[in-house]
Amino acid sequence: MSTTAIILAAGLGTRMRSSRPKALHLLGGRPMLCELLDSAASVFDRVVVVIGPEMAEVAALVAPHPVVVQQERLGTAHAALTAASQFGDGEVVVLYADTPLIRPTTLSRLLTRKKETNAALTLLAFRAPETGRSDHYGRLIMADGFVQSIVEWADASPEQRAEPLCNAGGFVASSADLRRWLEQVPRNTAKGEYYLTDVVGLAAAEGARIAALEAPFAELRGINSQAELAEAEATLQGWLRAAAMEAGANLVAPETVFLCSDTVLAADVRIGPYVVFGPGVVLETGAEILPFCHLEGCRIGPDARIGPYARIRKGTTIGASARVGNFVELKAAVLGVGAKANHLAYLGDAEIGHSANIGAGTITCNYDGAAKHRTVIGADAFIGSNAALVAPVEIGAGAIVGAGSVIVRDVPPDALAIARGQQVHKPGRAKLLRSERKRGATKAATELPTKVLEGQKENG
């Protein structure tokens, strides 16, 4: 029997005080919808996403999964019914894009729970969180281990509010049952919308068996505000750090390291405090990231060492045993095996050969105001401090560039390039300058009181 997940992602960011669709707010370095998409795609045969009108960015994000557009935002039941043509003939799971942390194991258990209990409808549920955090969650009213009804918090009596299980929103039902219930959902007279929770009442009215699957609040929490987004981020970071350490990564101060959902850390990498990983980072075995570094879209080779205070940007590859030191930035660069850039350098759109040495203050001048250009530095080349390499330019293998040089033409292999103004000596001039400065300072000191007195007389 086929399984289909319907993800409702038409919501706007109104309660988050944002013009960005809620599903696009970042979690683990990428839109929160991606987290749920990955989990659902790993469990169900098919995933369909319901979006609102003018949400092309969301549609592009979920591709190649099919998209259904809810032209009018008339509530969650209406959104699910909009996707009825995509239900198929098997089990249908309805999920919310703003509940993105549900783990694949929980989704699998949801299907298993429905089958084991022979239920027509199985709901996701969690234990009420601490006092003050549960006053907007509907309660599941249970009897003999099954759900009798859902009571919204605002409508619940004190006894009902004391019920421990809260409705998480997601559920599974057969396509035929769900389609029938959705078509019967009444329109709420106050807001003019159709609510998905009414499906439970319709199922109960038919005498259908309704089961619940309890899962951790950390997984089933909804995100409706910037504060809740930050709390979800903290939860996800905890999971990512734990998984990284379980796989053999050494995080010296894990609570200070921020990972992305796609960060790949091999065994025996070492991460110092206050390191931030953007999307698309891979660290190979033995790599070390020292404190206060930021990395994104890069690959760090085995036994390479980065930092402290380094920034590695998109499109960069650091070779094995290479060294990138403090206040060095690389962008779209390849740093060869054993190459070094230990201090205060910017290497953008550059290819640096193995064992090359980049001196402090070196920059590749890669942008001419209209286009980017590439710098190629050969193996074993030595670039002196404060050199400016004006791209496009090539420094041959084994070449040396003198400190302070501005290189605008290619340097042949094994050549010494010096491109700076000629040094001129003026004998005795330093002594004369010091005398003049001293005389000037003495004159200013004696003239100042006179000027002040004259100014007082004028003002008086």
Q: What angle do CA 125, 128, 132 make, to 5 degrees?
A: 145
Q: CA 230 to CA 130: how far, in whole Å?
A: 18
The whole-angstrom separation of Cα 252 and Cα 272 is 5
Q: Report helix, strand or coil for 314.
A: coil
As a whole number of angstroms, the longest Cα–Cα distance in the chain is 107
Residues in the chain: 460
Cβ atoms 257, 293 nearer than 8 A? no
> Which one, of 32, 451, 17, lies nearest residue 223 by Cα?
32
Pick from 198, 8, 170, 179: nearest CA to 88: 179
Q: Tokens representing 315?
A: 């499109």
Query: Is the bond leading into 291 cis (omega within 30 degrees of zero)?
Result: no
Q: Are 253 and 270 in contact (CB under 8 A)?
A: no
Alpha helices in 71-161 (DSSP H): 76-82, 104-117, 158-161
CA within 13 Å, CB half, 109: 13
Positions annotated as catalytic residues are 343
Q: How far is CA 392 from CA 237, 325, 358, 373, 385, in A?
A: 42, 25, 17, 5, 20
**How many angstroms separate the CA atoms of 108 and 110, rounded?**
5
| Distance, CA of 332 to CA of 299 (rounded, Å) | 11
Structure-block tokens of residue 168: 């998480």
Across 152-253, the runs of DSSP E, i.e. the strands, are: 165-174, 210-214, 250-251
SS (H, E, C) 365-416: ECECCCCECCEEECCCCEECCCCEEECCEEECCCCEECCCCEECCCECCCCE
